[in-house]
Amino acid sequence: MIIDDYKHKGLRKKLVKELQGKGIYDQAVLDSILNVPRHIFLDTAFLEQAYTDKAFQIGEGQTISQPYTVAFQTQLLEIKKGEKVLEIGTGSGYQASVLCYMETKLYSIERIKSLSKNASLIFQKLGYKPELMVGDGSLGWKVHSPFQKIIVTAGAPLAPEPLLEQLDLGGILVIPIGDQKVQTMVRYKKDLTGKITKEEHGIFKFVPLLGEKAWKTTQKI
Ligand code: SAM
Each residue of 123-161: pLDDT tens digit? 999 999 999 999 999 999 999 999 999 999 999 999 999
**Residue 138 domain-assigned (yes or no):** yes
pLDDT digits (tens, 9 = 90+) for 91-118: 999 999 999 999 999 999 999 999 999 9
> What is the CATH number for 148?
3.40.50.150
Find the mean pLDDT for residues 163-174.
98
**Residue 98 domain-assigned (yes or no):** yes
* Nearest-angstrom CA–CA distance, 108 and 45: 27
Ligand 1 contact via 111 beta carbon (within 6 Å):
yes
**Residue 171 domain-assigned (yes or no):** yes
Atom of ligand 1 nearest to the CA of 206: 9
Strand partners, 176: 185
**Residue 218 domain-assigned (yes or no):** no
**pTM exceeds 0.85 for this model:** yes
DSSP E strand boundaries for the chain: 56-59, 62-64, 84-88, 105-110, 131-134, 147-152, 167-178, 183-190, 196-204
pLDDT digits (tens, 9 = 90+) for 7-25: 999 999 999 999 999 999 9
Atom of ligand 1 nearest to the CA of 112: 16
pLDDT of residue 220: 47
* Nearest-angstrom CA–CA distance, 42 and 56: 8
Residue type, 8: H
Residue 194 reports pLDDT greater than 90: yes
pLDDT of residue 48: 73
Query: What is the count of structural domains for the chain?
Result: 1
Three-state DSSP at 189 gives: strand
The DSSP call for residue 21 is H
The residues assigned a catalytic role are 65
